[in-house]
Structure 1
Amino acid sequence: MTNPFPPLVSPAPSRSRIGWRKPLVLLLVIALAGGGWLTLRTKNSNAKQAGSDQPKSHAFELAASDVALIDARELRITLPLSGSLMPLVQATIKSKVAAEVRETLVREGMQVKRGQVIAQLDTADLQARYATQQATLDEAKAKLALANKNHDINQMLLKQKYISQNAFDTAHNSVEVAEATVKSASSQVEIAQRAMNDATIRAPIDGIVSKREVQQGDKVSLDSPLFSIMDLSLMTLEAQVPASEIPRVKLGQDVTFSVDGFQDRRFTGKVTRINPATETGSRAIKVYIAVSNSDGALKGGMYAKGAITLEKSAVGPLLPLTALRRENGIDVVYTVENNLVVAQPVKLGLRNDDENLAEVTSGLAPGAHVIVVKLDGVKPGSAVKMVEIVSAKRAS
């Protein structure tokens, strides 16, 4: 009897159909896997290429010694010098008479005023000499009076013709001789009076006693030195300059110098005189510098070292010469602006190779940052970083 319902399970496929489906599925899987790998590789390759096309962002870091901050001041060309300081005004007081020193009233280091009595000599002998000269004068005056009286009498006798003209002339000559004798005696009295006045020793200038040569009781002769006085308000620095440098030295040039013991203080002066002859042996020429010393800090004989300012610029930007570059025949410097290197043309004026500085007449302003060293890879347009300490570095 035939089954009216069909079987629920499909009959097994035949071996021939199963055999060609399996290779087909395997090929499809392999194809899909290969396509995905190619797609991923292409994306990675494009990403790498895109990354390589973008510019790399790298900034050079500048050290404090690589950059200088430009400031404004004078630039000076100087000539070194050294020499001794001496007071412009000083005096050595000598005795004008021979006498014994009765007393001295001042010592070294004491301040004196002009006209002040500083010593007294004994006047006993001088007074005796004065008295003698005064007596001589009185005698001469008496003889003159007698001669005048005889002259008047002889004149009357001559008119009455009691005497001759020769006798009258002799009497007249006696008057002239007596008058001359009076004048001579008067001058001797004045000399004796002056000698008595000279026994009182007075300071000829305002200043400080630098040396006392005598003591009380000493006997001094004519022209014996008694005291030395210095006026320290104005000093003179005497310095020797090589003859080859003299053409550069001019009257009125500024001088700055220092003195041992005043390390933190700088003194100033001006060239006021130039000796017209060279010194024997050294062949150098002396230059004299006037120095104001109102506070009396400088003393006579101090040794000073300094320099004459031969030339100076106006106050303006000063550039370290190490920052200067020559490009296409033009002087340029590399400045840092907004963290980028900029080539800035400049014009220079006065140069000082000793200080390694130059005056900038145009192209650079105070406050600019300039690169003072040659750095590989740093060129206009390069990005740079500056450490904060650079801002405190100044051109010097």
Structure 2
Amino acid sequence: MKLETLPLSPNTIPTPTRRNKRWRAPAIGLIVLGLAGGGWTAMQSKAKAPEQKTAPAADKKPKGPEVYELAAADVTAISARALSISLPLSGSLAPVSQATIKSKVSGEVRETTVREGMAVTQGQVLARLDQADLHARLTQQQAMLDEAQAKLAMASRNHANSQALLKQNYISSTSFDTTANGVELARASVKSAGAMVELARIALNDSVIRAPISGVVSKRHVQAGEKVAPDMAVYTIVNLAELTLEAQVPTSEIPRVKVGQDVSFKVDGFQQREFAGKVARINPTAEAGSRAMLVYISVPNKDGALLGGMFAKGSITTERSAVMPLVPVEALRSEGGKQVVYAVAEGKVVAQPVTLGLRNEDQGYAEVTGGLQQGAQVIVARLEGVKPGARVKVSAPPPAQYPGLVPVKAGVLAQRS
């Protein structure tokens, strides 16, 4: 049987309503937004795919330990030498041997042979006086001696004759005694005249003034043609071979000073040279009004560089240790009531306890009696982050524009505190 579809009549075709037209436009908009969102998500996922592939590789790279790179000035090597404790002092230098030559006789100065600043030797002629009067006096005394000797000879002959006559009983014993007494008087006169001759000869020799010591002329008191009297100063000579440094030391510090202690000092004009001496004497009384005592220091001056009156400033070595390792005071740290230093061993910082002996704050060093050996490296700078166990590396000093920071290859900066 064949079925046929009959056409609908115009009265049966449905007509669209207003409700269907309201939801059709929003639905189309949602579909467009969904498609746009899906496309953006797909593009973002494609862009992130390479980053996700490379990120795990960076995370898997091991991170190295922090390494502090220290400047060469931050680390020092321990050296071994003697450490000394000193006491400061100052004073003036004075020659040990100094002589003012005076005339022993009166007379006119005929000649002066040396002037100030000239070196002289012992026995060298310095000046000559007029000798005319002295020669005449010597001649006079010599004549008196000759006369006395003649009288002695006459008295001796008379005494011999008297002795012969006494044996023959021609004279008395009293007469003989008189002649014997005359001989004794004549002998005394000869001795007296001989002494006067010797005095005249000495005076003649004293008219030639000679240097009693070797040294340098510091003052000439007379000129040629002047008249001098006995005990009048003619020359002043100083011997600079050895000087004495007279220094005042407070009475509170005198117990530390001993005879024989070493002294080092400098003087103006020789700033680059250091002179040495030894304590020779200590004055037993304090200076009035100063509460200080004088210490006399013997100073050899073989080359004559030092002069009398120079002002010296130095120190007395009151204590001296044996040759031991010395650590800079700035490297010492106090941890747990103990003295420690930060030593560098095999690229790491180690807190090393130390035992100290003498300590000199002026020099900035302390004697190490235990805990450190010569050649050990210790950190002298205060650096933030550099603690025991930290890895360090000593490198060149930091650039001048970064005085407080030292760059490190591992990206860590060691900053001074």
Aligning the two structures, in what range does the TM-score lie when normalised by the shorter sequence? 0.7 to 0.9
Change (3 A) 1:172 1:180: same
Q: Does 1:326 align with 2:337?
A: no
Query: Residue 120 of structure 1 aligns to which amino acid in structure 2?
Result: R
SS in 2 for 1:80: strand
Per the alignment, residue 198 of structure 2 pairs with 190
Residue 376 of structure 1 deviates from its aligned partner by 4.5
Question: SS state of the match for residue 91, structure 1?
Answer: strand
- Find out whether 1:166 has 2:174 as its counterpart: yes
Q: Secondary structure at the match of 1:389?
A: coil
Partner of 1:252: 260
| 1:57 match | 65
Matched positions, count = 348
1:123 counterpart = 2:159: no
Q: Is 1:277 the equivalent of 2:313?
A: no
| Whole-angstrom distance in 2 between the partners of 1:389 and 1:256 | 35
Question: Which structure is larger by alpha-carbon Rg, 1 or 2?
Answer: 2
Asked if the contact 2:73–2:397 (Cα under 8 Å) also holds between the matched residues in 1, the reply is no
Counterpart CA distance in 1 for 2:102 and 2:367 is 56
AA partner of residue 207 (structure 1): G
Could you tell me which residue of structure 1 aligns to residue 165 of structure 2? 157
In the other structure, the counterpart of 2:402 is: none
Structure 1 residue 164, shift from structure 2 partner:
2.4
Post-superposition shift, 1:302?
A: 1.0
Partner of 2:394: 386
What residue in structure 2 maps to residue 7 of structure 1?
Answer: none
SS of the equivalent of 1:265 reads coil
**Range with bigger deviation, 63-72 or 375-384:** 63-72
User: Which position in structure 1 is the counterpart of 2:93?
Assistant: 85
Is it true that 1:243 corresponds to 2:251 in the alignment?
Answer: yes
Report the counterpart of residue 210 of structure 2 in structure 1.
Answer: 202
Distance 1:108 1:143 in 2: 53
**Map 1:127-146 → 2, pairs under 5 A:** 127-146=135-154
Q: What is the SS of the residue equivalent to 1:244? A: coil
The equivalent residue for 1:15 is: none
Give 1:241 deviation, angstroms: 1.6
CA distance in 1, matches of 2:313, 2:394: 40
Report the AA paired with residue 233 of structure 1.
A
Deviation at 1:73, TM superposition (A): 2.7
What pairs up with 1:340-379 in 2 under 5 angstroms? 340-379=348-387
- Match of 1:254, as an amino acid? D
Q: Which residue of 2 aligns with 1:234?
A: 242
- Return 5+ residue gaps in structure 2 as ranges: 1-44, 399-417
Aligned in 2, Cα 1:147/1:235: closer, same or farther, shift over 3 Å?
same
Q: Which amino acid aligns with 1:334?
A: Y
What is the distance in 2 between the residues matched to 1:363 and 1:335? 11
Question: Alpha carbon RMSD of aligned pairs, Å?
Answer: 2.7
Please, which moves more after superposition, 201-210 or 326-335?
326-335
TM-score computed with the length of structure 2 as normaliser: 0.76
Larger mean CA deviation between 54-63 and 339-348 belongs to 54-63
Q: SS at 1:103's partner residue?
A: strand
- Partner residue of 1:263? 271
Confirm or deny: 8 A CA contact 2:218 2:236 kept in the other structure: yes
- Report what 1:16 is aligned to: none
Counterpart in 2 of 1:25?
none
Per-residue deviation, residues 188-220 of structure 1 (Å, max 9, x unmatched): 100100110111111222221111111100110
Structure 1: stretches of 5+ with no match in the other structure:
1-35, 391-396
Which amino acid letter does the alignment assign opposite residue 96 of structure 2?
A: L
Cα deviation code 1:238-276 (max 9, x no counterpart): 212222222211122111110100111111111122223
Cα offset, 1:351, TM superposition: 1.1
State the partner residue of 2:116.
Answer: 108
**CA gap 1:209/1:55 in 2 versus in 1, 3 angstroms:** same
Farther-moved stretch of structure 1 (252-261 vs 223-232):
223-232
**Equivalent-residue separation in structure 1 for 2:202 and 2:382 (angstroms):** 83
Q: Percent identity?
A: 61
- The secondary structure found in structure 2 opposite 1:78 is strand
Instruction: Give the 3-state SS of the residue equivalent to 2:397 in structure 1.
Output: helix
- The CA deviation string for residues 302-354 of structure 1, in whole angstroms up to 9 with x for no partner, is 11111111111223322122322334454321112233110112221111133
Q: Contact 2:109 / 2:130 at 8 angstroms: preserved in 1?
A: yes
SS across alignment from 2:252:
helix
Q: SS at 1:274's partner residue?
A: strand
Deviations 1:27-64, CA, capped at 9 Å, x for gaps? xxxxxxxxx9xxx9xx99xx79x98xx88722344456
